[in-house]
Amino acid sequence: MASESNDGLATLWQGQPVTRIEISLDQLRWRARRFESRIHWRNLREYAAGALVVGVFGYYVWRIPAPLVRLGSMLVIVGGLFALRSLHVRGASGSAPVNMAFSSCLEFHRRQLERQRDLLRDVWTWYLLPFVPGLAVFLVGLLGWTLAQPNAPAHRQLIVGAFVATALGCGLVLAAVGRLNRWAARKLQREIDALAALEEKS
């Protein structure tokens, strides 16, 4: 998910008092390029994961004849495409011009950090919630389709228990991803505060 890419992004000047921050232009440019590279690879991973989601649920649309399962699968695909579109629009990494002065490079990098912080803070609205309607319809449809199978009555309790466990598991995963992204956003905020203090001194 989106938070995985921020491993190491929030280490700039970590543990240093704000008043002691010192950094050269070359170091700042290197940090900006490293941040840009991490965001670039994160987005590529998300695009690949999105393509996998579309492929898997597209297979369900084709393979499982239950109307609710097909509807839920199509809603998941729509939610996935919406999330990827939002990531492309809101989360694309910017490239710093090569010949930027120190103050301009500092401001540019701070704005890039703010852009990614806002993205992570809003992860529920653009990344997680779009999947919820499709997953709910899909699971309900899958439960009904499974219970309608000839040998289902003999295993009804097991089937319902598996459905409940799956639904709870999905909810826990969504909640965990949301918390991880909020945590990553707070780490980025500390970097932004450090850069803002450095801007005041420059």
Per-residue pLDDT reduced to its tens digit, 97-116: 777 788 888 889 999 999 99
Give the pLDDT of residue 202: 61
Give the pLDDT of residue 10: 39
Give the pLDDT of residue 87: 96
Do 94 and 113 contact (CB within 8 A), yes or no? no
Closest CA to 202 of 114, 101, 120: 101
- Degrees, nearest 5: CA angle 90-178-110: 40
- CA 136, 138, 143, 147 torsion: positive or negative? positive
Give the pLDDT of residue 26: 85
Task: Find how far residue 157's CA is from the centre of its chain.
Answer: 35
Cα(14)–Cα(175) distance, integer angstroms? 27
- In this prediction, the residues of the chain whose per-residue pLDDT falls under 50 are 4-20
